[in-house]
Amino acid sequence: MWTARVFTLYPELFPGLLGVGLYKKALEKKLWSLEVINIRDYAMNKHKTVDDTPFGGGSGMVMRADVIANSLDKNIPDKEEQIIYLSPKGKKFDQAYAKKIMKKNINIICGHFEGVDQRLLETRNIEEISVGDFVLSGGEAASFLVIDTILRLIPGVVGNPDSLAEESFERNLLEYPQYTKPQKWEEKDVPGVLLSGDHAKIKDWRLSQSEDITRRRRPDLWDKYKKKNEKY
């Protein structure tokens, strides 16, 4: 069973989005598990201090290495498990990376303030991961994104596994447009090919739509897609 272990200053935020819908059902079926660790519980003094001023001066506070390390060391049973620190200066998190890290349990550190003491990252073999080129007030929101992405890849969590193969990014293509009832809405019709019953034509239409959308909106993905398909 795949386990997500979250180290946070705000454990009351969890399971949050992960405790409803498909993910709640998957939790109940023991397809995955969630452990939430309150970093503050591992502070060393009576005031439960988890941060301090930065050496060298500067604004803000920095989370202490000794406190976070204490929480990690006492809660991660297998030292081979991955530890991720969510940071805007980290490696880009994407679908390919999600597939890579889903093979083992994952431990996520949710930072706050001005970040964490660099010595923590260096002594605990922690990988810094970024969910985008923007700054959040804390790592909790990003942790939901990371866990959500991985959970969709775990067998049995998503009802129809075939749908995963057609989602955006799976082939370096963005997903094609989707339509449902009513067939005509505000003078707009569903594309006729989707009503034809011709599965080959529908497949070709969807591919052409995905290619067009990707080419216009994500030239970086389009280049990857072209290079990959040039090999065949």
CA separation for the pair 147, 225 (Å, rounded):
26
Which one-letter amino acid corresponds to residue 100? K
Dump pLDDT digits (tens) for 101-134. Answer: 999 999 999 999 889 999 999 999 899 999 999 9
Average of per-residue pLDDT across 202-211? 96
Give the torsion through C-alpha atoms of 131, 126, 58, 48, to 10 deg.
110
Return the pLDDT at 24.
97
Return the pLDDT at 230.
78
Q: Which fold has domain 2-151?
A: Alpha/beta knot (3.40.1280)
Average pLDDT, the chain: 93
C-alpha 141: how far from chain center = 10
CA separation for the pair 105, 29 (Å, rounded):
17
Domain with CATH 3.40.1280.10 in the chain: 2-151
47-66 per-residue burial string, b: 16 or more CB within 10 A, e: under 16:
eeebbeeeeeeeeebbbbbe
Question: Whole-prediction pTM value?
Answer: 0.85
> Token pair for residue 157?
């969590």
How does residue 159 score in pLDDT terms, banded at 50, 70 and 90? Answer: confident
Return the pLDDT at 169.
65
Return the pLDDT at 165.
57
User: Does an H or E element contain 92, and which?
Assistant: strand 82-92
Q: Pairing mode, if any, of strands 62-63 and 32-38?
A: unpaired
Residue 211 above 90 pLDDT?
A: yes
How does residue 79 score in pLDDT terms, banded at 50, 70 and 90? Answer: confident
> Token pair for residue 17?
């989005």
Those residues whose C-beta lies under 8 Å from the C-beta of residue 176, and which sit 6 or more positions away, are 166, 205, 206, 207, 209, 210, 213
Residue 97 above 70 pLDDT?
A: yes
Q: Which of 11, 29, 225 is nearest to 139 (CA)?
A: 11
Q: Which CATH superfamily is domain 166-230 in?
A: tRNA(m1g37)methyltransferase, domain 2 (1.10.1270.20)
Domain with CATH 1.10.1270.20 in the chain: 166-230
How does residue 4 score in pLDDT terms, banded at 50, 70 and 90? Answer: very high
